Structure 1
Amino acid sequence: MLTGWRLVLSKLFIIPQRYVLAIMALLAVANAYTMRVCLNLAITQMVKKNVAVEGDAHFDPLACPDQSLIANETDARSIFLRANSDDTTLFEWSEATQGLILGAFYYGYVLTHVPGGMLAERFGGKWVLGGGLLSTAICTFITPITVKLGGAYALFVLRVIEGFGEGPTMPALMAMLSKWAPKAERARFGAIVFGGAQIGNIAGSYFSGLIMHNGHWENVFYMFGGLGLTWFVLWSLLCYSTPNTHPYISDSEKKFLNQNVDALIHTKEKALDPIPWKALLRSVPLWSLIIAGIGHDWGYFTMVTDLPKYMTDVLKFNIKATGILSALPYVAMWIASFFFGLLCDFCVKRGYHNIKNARKIYTTIAATGPGICIILASYSGCDTTLAVFWFVFAMTLMGAYYSGMKINPLDITPNYAGTTTAMVNGIAAISGIVSPYLIGLLTPESTLKQWRIAFWVCLGVLVFTNIIYVLFASGEQQWWDDVKTHGYPADWKHGPLPTREEDSEKPKAEKDDKEKSKK
């Protein structure tokens, strides 16, 4: 009876179960990012705006005009009163406080990244990923009531809890994909699944702006939290950690995956290899990758977290325009990532550059290019068209990141890519804590001049970390990733270890000795 029911369920799916997983994983990543970024836009409508007028200590002579308000009123003080008198739910938070709140998510995110990956490898990724996003969805849904009852402190704590939930997302997802993605289809899976990050950024920005233009900021959290809860129900019913634990996968697909997925074929062999923590933590190429990750995340989080504030406070876009224009850079980054990926593969195949230089070239494009572009955007003044162009171009160049350092762990440590990716992402996410708070300190009145200083700091971080990466990055497998093949370095305290080639010669040597003794 059970076998018959499984057969019926397997026939209901037109596409294979591995692609059902890929689609649900795409939606998982998209949901994760929408719930992460929706506050970035919503906070612009949650906080009272202090409008300085000529004669005030903090008056900004470079301030852009707010055309939507001054069309009918010319007195700035009356504009301020009208903009803030019709809503009693606005909060009086300083720029530094807003920076702390925007960075709070990454306190929890950093702490659970590596532990989440280890749990997923041990117990399977389904419930680690599902449970994490469920907690994030619940926290997102209750954000309005929480902030009204507890203010900034309660919102800070809630965002930390959200970060705890999302920390294991990528490591758990990688653990699942390693059991479901055949080598020949791995690039296809990557394009499907990780495109969810940009879809989430686009949807989070665009729909947040649209919702708040026609309604209240609270509705943003209700919508994205509700979508996260709906996703969890579908994930629980449709997806499983491995093909062998899936109750209604077809026998033919299960057989295919067990014959073509390395993680299923060699599970027992890989389980015997401990993580070489000592060598891993002393690896210069790995630390150069981590440092480059810190720089990339600094630039990325500056754009994701603070671009809506810049567009609202400095360029004076209304919330609908801010939502649309904040989404444009991520559309450009998503499209550009495919272009740079194809270009990189083409150049490597033609021998124009090797893998090591490819990672350095595309990481440099993704670091220094965006840094220069945001400086140019800040010096575009109130030319909003030109400023938006530079922001879009910045994220277009950042699309090269996926062909650079993002996939470098697969080059230097294919056997421990999950652990090293968790390390790189987890440590680099510290930028998400520091950069919003520092920008809040640098822009207390959110003037154009103050924002220029923040952008110059961002460029400095991007250039410095990129130089470290260019000097010390590697494109080859490290010895500690496969000691049996490469052996220990001569100065390693464990002493030399025979390589596999030497091991293979041992039986032959022993056989020759036995034959000689017989003679």
Structure 2
Amino acid sequence: MASKDITTENSGPKLGVRHLQSILIFFGFCVAFMQRVNLSVAIVAMMDRNYTNPDFPEYAWSEQTKSLLLSSFFWGYFLVQIPSGQLAQRFGGKVMLLFSVGISGFLALLTPLSAQLGDWQLTCVLRFLQGFCQGSIYPSTHTLLAQWAPPAERGILATICFSGPQFGSIIILSISGILAASKYGWPSIFYISGGCGIIWSFVWLLWGADSPRRSKLITTKERNYIESALAVVSKSENNVTTAKLPTPWLSIFTSVPFWMLIILCSSYTWGYWTMMTQIPSYIKNVLDKDIQSNALLSALPYTANLVLGLCFCILAQVLLSAKVLSTNASRKIFNTIGMWVPMAAIIALGFVDVHRADLAVILLTVAVGTNSATFLGGFVNHIDLSPNFAGTLMGITNCAANVMSIIAPLVVGVIVTDTTNPNQWRLIFYIMALFYFIGNFVFITLGSTKLQTWNEPVKRDTNHEHIKDQAVTGDLEHI
């Protein structure tokens, strides 16, 4: 029976609506991150008359106020992580993703007005609400991928989706200076990013779908291919929808593979966001090279992340198709590339001579670029463990990871009291490397790609007197 299913899976269409869904999600992430990053790049023009059109207001905000404005998004984002996974499970990933990007886009359009009417206080509230809306993006995407991605294609479809943030960051970093200096001034940065979100929402409303069965575009052949491929690892009753499943909280929080995934995601976030937010300061203050003032250098790490992510994606698909690697081996090998190569680059960065700034930029680009290999590893492992509760699992891990994104800059502030001292920065790099090492080590040793027993629905008998667990365990290694 298993061989029949595998044959069915291998005979599926090479390109189809499942790829369209991933591309739409890619652009959804793209515009969402344009909206997330827009204030970070626009605030320079908003606070400095030399950077902007004199016809638009200038704000004399302090550095403390600036930090509050930039962090307000993430407080809203953090609060909704776990509930958003439950909402995506109940109402479907399509409507939650539509809500996340669409409402956030509308709020982005209102940002210039909020600054004029309510100064930084109202802008903080608006950014908090944007973060609150965008908190559903990752859980919703995992809920959608669980329904759309055949097990053998989870890596490639997930990589397409999760390359969107890098593309969005590249775009907003590249055009923000031009927009701020144009006759439309810094408000145009918010209008462009918000308008793109509104346009994407209409396209998603027309073409997006919660599952193959709900898509109006999909062919019968592709739908059968996806459903038969998913059936290999899930024996759920077809008439039991994910929305009706009680979340097995106790089983989730006593699952060793899931705890390894939490540690992995937290470690990844610590390292990644420290690199993206603090190392430019190191290169500027220690190596005397301001990459933030250079649009090309600012976008270079994101570009490397996007390009290498797609290259890793193709390589993984070739190796899986040729049966060179099992799914389990593929997840762990690519996750190792995505965390231990950056670990080595970051350690090396701490020993770069002050006169070798170009080498430092190269090492930073290598570190951020190879990070993208984790898209084929830990990023998709939530679906391996439990397709039915992938959104909830993503909400939990993203919640824990965002705690790390808050703590990491605070640790830098405590340790780096002199931003020109390379020895203090070297300690930061060692801490980052340690997080990368531990996160990947626990994943490759104790992590798993096995379908967990608590993924399957519970079935009540006709008298509703007891509950019988209909769980079954599958191993993606044998697909």
Report the TM-score when normalising by structure 2. 0.76
Taking the aligned partners of 1:499 and 1:118, their CA distance within structure 2 comes to 21
**Secondary structure class of the residue paired with 2:163:** helix
- 1:337 and 1:400 in contact (8 A); partners too: yes
Taking the aligned partners of 2:200 and 2:435, their CA distance within structure 1 comes to 37
Cα deviation 1:235-290 (Å, max 9, x = unaligned): 334444456656xx36xx45445534438996423546533221110112211111
Tell me: CA distance 1:481–1:21, structure 2 relative to 1, closer, same or farther (3 Å).
closer
Taking the aligned partners of 1:407 and 1:185, their CA distance within structure 2 comes to 11
**Secondary structure class of the residue paired with 1:268:** coil
Taking the aligned partners of 1:368 and 1:255, their CA distance within structure 2 comes to 43
Q: What are the equivalent positions in structure 2 for 1:145-294 lying under 5 Å apart?
A: 145-147=113-115, 149-180=117-148, 189-212=157-180, 216-242=185-211, 249=216, 253=218, 255-256=220-221, 258-262=223-227, 267-271=238-242, 273-294=245-266
Residue in 2 aligned with 1:472? 446
- 2:289 and 2:357 in contact (8 A); partners too: no
Task: Determine whether 1:462 maps to 2:433.
Answer: no
Tell me: CA distance 1:35–1:232, structure 2 relative to 1, closer, same or farther (3 Å).
same
- Which of 122, 125, 136 matches 2:93? 125
Aligned letter for 2:370?
L
Taking the aligned partners of 2:437 and 2:44, their CA distance within structure 1 comes to 30
Percent identity over the alignment?
A: 29
Greater Cα offset, 222-231 or 440-449: 440-449
Residue in 1 aligned with 2:400? 427
Greater Cα offset, 366-375 or 437-446: 437-446
Cα deviation 1:189-233 (Å, max 9, x = unaligned): 445433323211221222224434667544322221222222223
Tell me: CA distance 1:152–1:380, structure 2 relative to 1, closer, same or farther (3 Å).
farther
Tell me: CA distance 1:402–1:342, structure 2 relative to 1, closer, same or farther (3 Å).
same
State the 1:310 CA deviation.
5.4
Tell me: CA distance 1:476–1:221, structure 2 relative to 1, closer, same or farther (3 Å).
same
Residue in 2 aligned with 1:400? 373
Taking the aligned partners of 1:152 and 1:376, their CA distance within structure 2 comes to 40
Taking the aligned partners of 1:360 and 1:185, their CA distance within structure 2 comes to 16
- 2:269 and 2:405 in contact (8 A); partners too: yes
Taking the aligned partners of 2:84 and 2:446, their CA distance within structure 1 comes to 29
Q: What are the equivalent positions in structure 2 for 1:297-376 lying under 5 Å apart?
A: 297-306=269-278, 315-317=288-290, 321=294, 323-344=295-316, 355-376=327-348
- 2:89 and 2:389 in contact (8 A); partners too: no
Aligned letter for 2:87?
L
Tell me: CA distance 1:184–1:496, structure 2 relative to 1, closer, same or farther (3 Å).
closer
Tell me: CA distance 1:235–1:269, structure 2 relative to 1, closer, same or farther (3 Å).
closer
Taking the aligned partners of 1:202 and 1:398, their CA distance within structure 2 comes to 16
- 1:98 and 1:440 in contact (8 A); partners too: no
State the 1:343 CA deviation.
4.5
State the 1:293 CA deviation.
0.3
Greater Cα offset, 38-47 or 126-135: 38-47
Tell me: CA distance 1:425–1:40, structure 2 relative to 1, closer, same or farther (3 Å).
same
Aligned letter for 1:269?
V
State the 1:361 CA deviation.
3.9
Taking the aligned partners of 2:418 and 2:47, their CA distance within structure 1 comes to 13
Residue in 2 aligned with 1:26? 26
- 1:107 and 1:433 in contact (8 A); partners too: no
Taking the aligned partners of 2:163 and 2:283, their CA distance within structure 1 comes to 25
Cα deviation 1:144-179 (Å, max 9, x = unaligned): 343455555444433221111111112223334445
Tell me: CA distance 1:267–1:300, structure 2 relative to 1, closer, same or farther (3 Å).
farther
Residue in 2 aligned with 1:110? 78
The number of residues matched between the two structures is: 439
State the 1:471 CA deviation.
4.3
Tell me: CA distance 1:347–1:191, structure 2 relative to 1, closer, same or farther (3 Å).
closer
Taking the aligned partners of 1:213 and 1:320, their CA distance within structure 2 comes to 14
- 2:23 and 2:161 in contact (8 A); partners too: yes
Aligned letter for 2:251?
A
Taking the aligned partners of 1:243 and 1:82, their CA distance within structure 2 comes to 52
Cα deviation 1:48-91 (Å, max 9, x = unaligned): 7xxxxxxxxxxxxxxxxxxxxxxxxxxxxxxxx9999x997254
Gaps of 5+ in 2: 1-14, 459-465, 474-479
Task: Determine whether 1:143 maps to 2:117.
Answer: no
Q: Cα RMSD between the aligned structures?
A: 4.1
Taking the aligned partners of 2:62 and 2:377, their CA distance within structure 1 comes to 39
Taking the aligned partners of 1:177 and 1:363, their CA distance within structure 2 comes to 19
Tell me: CA distance 1:221–1:437, structure 2 relative to 1, closer, same or farther (3 Å).
farther
- 1:292 and 1:465 in contact (8 A); partners too: yes
- 1:37 and 1:304 in contact (8 A); partners too: no
- 2:385 and 2:451 in contact (8 A); partners too: yes
- 2:41 and 2:173 in contact (8 A); partners too: yes
Aligned letter for 1:236?
L
Taking the aligned partners of 2:354 and 2:17, their CA distance within structure 1 comes to 52
Aligned letter for 1:295?
S
Gaps of 5+ in 1: 1-14, 49-80, 485-493, 502-519
- 2:268 and 2:339 in contact (8 A); partners too: yes
Taking the aligned partners of 1:496 and 1:24, their CA distance within structure 2 comes to 39
State the 1:319 CA deviation.
5.7
Which structure: larger Rg?
1
Aligned letter for 1:366?
G
- 1:202 and 1:331 in contact (8 A); partners too: yes
Taking the aligned partners of 1:181 and 1:366, their CA distance within structure 2 comes to 22
Report the TM-score when normalising by structure 1. 0.70
- 2:453 and 2:472 in contact (8 A); partners too: no
Greater Cα offset, 191-200 or 446-455: 446-455
- 1:132 and 1:166 in contact (8 A); partners too: yes
Residue in 2 aligned with 1:51? none
Tell me: CA distance 1:159–1:127, structure 2 relative to 1, closer, same or farther (3 Å).
same
Task: Determine whether 1:93 maps to 2:62.
Answer: yes
**Secondary structure class of the residue paired with 2:290:** coil
- 1:101 and 1:155 in contact (8 A); partners too: yes
Cα deviation 1:426-456 (Å, max 9, x = unaligned): 3212223333444455557754646555444
Greater Cα offset, 177-186 or 358-367: 177-186
Cα deviation 1:300-332 (Å, max 9, x = unaligned): 2223444555566664537661x2212111221
Residue in 1 aligned with 2:7? none
Taking the aligned partners of 1:171 and 1:500, their CA distance within structure 2 comes to 24
